[in-house]
């Protein structure tokens, strides 16, 4: 079979990723007059994390009770345990209401009271009801569908799915586009662009149990690192405390119990049938109050003490909730549970922490530009807005708001340029990797991915030690050696082994960044818990920056910005 | 202990002679066909091609294929301790193995925007 020919594309603004951040960025850049190309390694608007969102979007609308974005800001700062970037958090909170009203104008269908007010749920860590949602468990699909509808209306937004970006191209010190391959044919692809926005989401695929799609392997972080842009706060991986564990169920996202707890409270119980978060400082008593970092800690400590559920988590019980209330709150979902053999009126389910979100990410300035000129980031790919622990509901809000600002800034900069700075020499190495025959590797890249997920869950999960992190770093190096420097085989249609090779190349780079930053931070803070350094330390109220320097990751510390003026 | 399913899978590129590969895969009750396919890639054949993004939630709608001759989502079709036949969607252009071209035409590379 003949090798597929190279495809050359060009755009003013290249957007990588088509979740809420990517689509918002594309819409904003298009509105600012740019010729936009939005690409996704999966199908447009289907992969990523947005479509998986079950319920909450935090925003100070004041529909449920009076609110102001500064209250939301205060909660976001507090949740981040001293590391939240005040400028990013302020943007998120101040412009959230506009973004949410805009979505409403585009008919997303936020749940409403009979009198027409938008419903806002009270999520842990918020000082008042603030989280809008779409029933039932449909927030993500509704947000995705709504943005997709808008993207499709804009003639100038070109969309290409099944296109895996493998490297960014930097020419004359500026982002000049990207290189990748068309998954369905294997054809190498070169995209020249005046500016580039990375909106690829987080890194939950690094962990065995996770709540996002298969394509959340941290690729955007690795792309940015290799292009010369630093990352920040990489040690802070959020685990969602009550991911579904048992019995096995299908057709439901593992974070589905979050909305159940918002609406119905529920009781988180240990093996003895006792609510245990009191022992860790938060009395829930049938309500949903414990923040994600604390609940994760409490559940895993109970398991460690031998008081976990049989499958190794905690019980979540709604047996005290009358059946009519269950049905009123979740209607068709109750039937879907019944098909899986789950009757909440009569049985408890088992839950356990599951990798959910990444607080760390690409370091950006106020306009979402990275340290590489012309390279922007948006959404979960951005580090800093949520410090050491993200508040429930901030992820979709930041995707919408950051996407919009990044899109506007990238379009404005593109407008000032005649053409991309793309130089063929700067793309040569990346093109060679996707276009030429690689090695005849004996390793199964899918098995290597699974091995990485196991070691990350074991040694770089919610609890960490120097010993475990050293072991993880050694194994990551070993997997890197097994991966080799060239992808297996030749370009051909939907070559999953080759796709895994490129994914694993990114995943190993990002896993090392997380483990190295976690190894250096000798304290416990938010989502980063060191068993050998259990206390939070004032000396560690600093960010860690990761750079790729001559092929090696280098760590540095960066002071936290003063919060006083931003908070006023 | 665990059950075993025998997955008989239609393989190959468009225009190639019809070929079916059989894989034995261990599973626990309640697991999905997609779980079985992912396990085959890790343990037996990393080259097996099928589409999915969301793994478990039936949110991405990418894993549609023929399961025993009927159109189904692999993520919500349950594995059973017997032979199950998996084939690509018959009414879509075949890409490879169980993967078909399901993207809207104007979102494929090489096609201009339609709007």
Tell me the mean pLDDT in the region A379-406: 97
Tell me the mean pLDDT in the region A428-439: 92
- Gap between the Cα atoms of A361 and A392, Å rounded: 18
- Residue A328's Cα: distance from chain center in Å? 31
Task: Please write the tens of the pLDDT for every residue from A264-305.
Answer: 999 999 999 999 999 999 999 999 989 888 999 999 999 999
Q: Are A159 and B52 inside 8 Å of each other by CB?
A: no
**Burial grade of A424 (CB within 10 A; 0-12, 13-18, 19 or more):** exposed
Task: Please write the tens of the pLDDT for every residue from A443-476.
Answer: 899 999 999 999 999 999 999 999 999 999 999 9
Of chain A, the percentage scoring pLDDT greater than 90 comes to 87
Is residue A82 a contact partner of residue A525, using CB atoms and an 8 Å limit?
A: yes
Task: Please write the tens of the pLDDT for every residue from B39-58.
Answer: 999 999 999 999 999 888 88
Beta strands A188-198 and A174-182 are antiparallel
Tell the residue number behind the tokens 């209330």, with chain if given. Answer: A325
User: Which of A97-101, A188-192, A330-334, B13-17 is predicted least confidently?
Assistant: A330-334
Contacts of A359 (CB under 8 A, 6+ apart): A80, A233, A236, A237, A238, A383, A386, A387, A388, A389, A390, A526, A527
pLDDT band per the 50, 70, 90 thresholds, residue A1: low
pLDDT band per the 50, 70, 90 thresholds, residue A161: very high
A342 CB near a chain B CB, below 8 Å?
Answer: no
At CB < 8 A and 24+ separation, what contacts does A63-72 make?
A: A63/A117, A63/A118, A63/A119, A63/A120, A64/A117, A64/A119, A64/A120, A64/A128, A64/A129, A64/A130, A65/A128, A65/A129, A67/A128, A67/A130, A69/A93, A69/A94, A69/A96, A69/A97, A70/A567, A71/A127, A71/A128, A72/A96, A72/A126, A72/A130
Tell me the mean pLDDT in the region A71-82: 97
pLDDT band per the 50, 70, 90 thresholds, residue A251: confident
pTM for the full predicted model: 0.96
- Gap between the Cα atoms of B64 and B54, Å rounded: 12
Please state, in angstroms and as integers, the Cα–Cα distance from residue A418 to each residue in A12, A367, A405, A413, A427, following that order: 10, 21, 22, 11, 20
Q: Any idea what DSSP says for residue B78?
A: B
Is the pLDDT at A541 greater than 70, yes or no? Answer: yes
- Gap between the Cα atoms of A92 and A397, Å rounded: 7
Residue A562's pLDDT is 57
* Chain A nearest CA to B28, separation (Å): 9
Q: How many contacts, defined by CB atoms under 8 Å, are there between A and B?
A: 134
- Gap between the Cα atoms of A137 and A96, Å rounded: 21
Q: Which residues of B touch A (CB under 8 A)?
A: 13, 28-32, 38, 41-43, 46-62, 75-76, 78, 95-97, 99, 101-104, 106-110, 113, 115
Closest Cβ–Cβ partner in B54, B58, B96 for A213: B54
Is the pLDDT at A553 greater than 50, yes or no? Answer: yes
Tell me the mean pLDDT in the region A78-103: 97
Tell the residue number behind the tokens 């252009």, with chain if given. Answer: B93
Measured between its terminal Cα atoms, the distance across chain B in Å is: 55
Task: Please write the tens of the pLDDT for every residue from A25-53.
Answer: 999 999 999 999 999 999 998 878 898 88
Closest Cβ–Cβ partner in B28, B96, B109 for A7: B109
* Chain B nearest CA to A499, separation (Å): 10
* Chain A nearest CA to B19, separation (Å): 17
Mean pLDDT of chain A: 94
Q: Which residue would you say has higher pLDDT here, A436 or A543?
A: A543
Is the pLDDT at A567 greater than 50, yes or no? Answer: no
pLDDT band per the 50, 70, 90 thresholds, residue A209: confident
Task: Please write the tens of the pLDDT for every residue from A472-521.
Answer: 999 999 999 999 999 999 999 999 999 999 999 999 999 999 999 999 99
The two structure tokens encoding residue A294:
């604390």
Is residue A162 a contact partner of residue B103, using CB atoms and an 8 Å limit?
A: yes
Task: Please write the tens of the pLDDT for every residue from B56-111.
Answer: 888 889 999 999 999 999 999 999 999 999 999 999 999 999 999 999 999 999 76
The length of chain A in residues reads: 568
User: Vertex A532, ends A531 and A533: CA angle to 5°?
Assistant: 90
Is the pLDDT at A366 greater than 90, yes or no? Answer: no
Residue A45's pLDDT is 87
| ipTM above threshold 0.90 | yes
- Gap between the Cα atoms of A564 and A46, Å rounded: 40
Q: Which residues of A are catalytic?
A: 292
A253 CB near a chain B CB, below 8 Å?
Answer: yes
Is residue A84 a contact partner of residue A385, using CB atoms and an 8 Å limit?
A: yes
Is the pLDDT at A568 greater than 50, yes or no? Answer: no
Of chain A, the percentage scoring pLDDT greater than 70 comes to 99
- Gap between the Cα atoms of A3 and A490, Å rounded: 8
Is residue A449 a contact partner of residue A507, using CB atoms and an 8 Å limit?
A: yes
- Gap between the Cα atoms of A74 and A184, Å rounded: 47
- Gap between the Cα atoms of A172 and A374, Å rounded: 11
Closest Cβ–Cβ partner in B42, B54, B97 for A52: B54
The two structure tokens encoding residue A1:
């079979």
Is the pLDDT at A565 greater than 70, yes or no? Answer: no
Residue B115's pLDDT is 39
Neighbours of A296 (CB within 10 A): 27
Residue A563's pLDDT is 44
- Gap between the Cα atoms of A223 and A214, Å rounded: 18
Tell me the mean pLDDT in the region B2-8: 93
Half-sphere exposure of A38 (CA within 13 A, CB side): 36
């Amino acid at each position: 079979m003949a090798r597929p020919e190279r495809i050359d594309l060009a755009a003013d603004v290249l957007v990588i990723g088509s979740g809420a951040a990517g689509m918002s960025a594309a819409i904003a850049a298009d509105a600012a007059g740019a010729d936009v190309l939005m690409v996704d390694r999966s199908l447009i608007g289907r992969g990523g994390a947005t479509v998986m969102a079950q319920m909450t979007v935090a925003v100070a609308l004041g529909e449920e009770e009076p609110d102001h974005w500064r209250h939301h800001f205060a909660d976001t700062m507090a949740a981040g345990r001293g590391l939240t970037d005040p400028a990013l958090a302020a943007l998120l909170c101040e412009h959230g209401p506009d973004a949410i009203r805009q979505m409403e104008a585009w008919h997303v269908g936020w749940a409403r009271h009979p009198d027409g007010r938008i419903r806002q749920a009270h999520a842990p860590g918020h000082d008042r009801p603030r989280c809008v949602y779409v029933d039932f468990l449909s927030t993500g699909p509704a947000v995705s569908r709504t943005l997709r509808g808008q993207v499709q209306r804009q003639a100038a937004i070109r969309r290409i799915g099944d296109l895996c970006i493998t490297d960014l191209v930097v020419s004359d010190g500026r982002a000049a586009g990207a290189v990748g391959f068309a998954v369905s044919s294997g054809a190498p692809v070169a995209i020249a662009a005046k500016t580039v926005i990375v909106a690829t989401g987080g890194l939950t695929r690094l962990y065995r149990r996770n709540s996002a799609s298969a394509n959340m392997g941290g690729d955007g972080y690795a792309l940015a690192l290799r292009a010369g842009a630093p990352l920040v706060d990489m040690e802070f991986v959020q685990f969602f405390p009550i991911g579904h564990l048992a019995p096995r169920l299908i057709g439901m996202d593992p974070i589905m119990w979050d909305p159940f707890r918002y609406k119905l409270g529920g009781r988180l119980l240990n093996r003895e049938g006792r609510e245990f978060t009191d022992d860790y400082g938060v009395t829930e008593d049938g309500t949903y109050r414990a923040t994600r970092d604390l609940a994760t800690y409490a559940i895993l400590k109970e398991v460690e003490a031998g008081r976990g559920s049989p499958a190794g988590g905690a019980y979540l019980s709604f047996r005290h909730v009358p059946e009519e209330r269950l049905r009123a709150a979740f209607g068709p979902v109750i039937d879907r549970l019944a098909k899986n053999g789950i009757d909440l009126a009569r049985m408890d389910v088992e839950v356990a922490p599951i990798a959910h979100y990444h607080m760390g990410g690409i370091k950006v300035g106020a306009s979402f530009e990275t340290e590489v000129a012309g390279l922007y980031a948006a959404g979960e790919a951005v580090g800093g807005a949520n410090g050491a622990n993200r508040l429930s509901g901030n992820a979709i809000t930041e995707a919408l708001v950051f996407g919009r600002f990044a899109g506007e800034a990238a379009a404005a900069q593109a407008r000032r340029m005649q053409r991309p700075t793309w130089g063929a020499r700067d793309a040569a190495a990346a093109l060679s990797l996707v276009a030429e025959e690689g090695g005849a590797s004996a390793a199964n890249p899918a098995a290597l991915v699974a091995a990485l997920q196991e070691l990350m869950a074991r040694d770089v999960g919610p609890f960490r030690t120097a010993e475990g992190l050293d072991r993880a770093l050694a194994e990551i190096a070993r997997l890197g050696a097994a991966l080799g420097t060239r992808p297996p085989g030749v370009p051909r249609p939907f070559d999953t082994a080759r796709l895994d090779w490129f994914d694993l190349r990114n995943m190993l780079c990002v896993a090392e960044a997380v483990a190295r930053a976690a190894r250096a931070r000798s304290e416990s803070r938010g989502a980063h818990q060191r068993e050998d350094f259990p206390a939070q330390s004032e000396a560690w109220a600093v960010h860690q920056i990761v750079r790729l320097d001559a092929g090696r990751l280098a760590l540095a510390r960066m002071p936290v910005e003063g919060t006083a003026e931003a908070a006023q | 202990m665990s059950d075993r399913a025998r997955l008989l899978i239609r393989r190959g590129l468009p225009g190639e002679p019809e070929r079916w590969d059989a894989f034995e895969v261990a599973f626990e009750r309640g697991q999905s066909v997609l779980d079985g396919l992912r396990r085959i890639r890790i343990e037996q054949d990393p080259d097996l091609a099928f589409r999915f993004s969301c793994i478990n939630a039936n949110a991405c709608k990418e894993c549609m294929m023929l399961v025993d001759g009927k159109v189904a989502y692999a993520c919500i079709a349950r594995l059973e301790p017997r032979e199950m036949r998996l084939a690509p969607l018959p009414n879509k252009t075949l890409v490879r193995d169980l993967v078909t071209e399901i993207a809207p035409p104007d979102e494929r590379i090489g096609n201009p925007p339609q709007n």
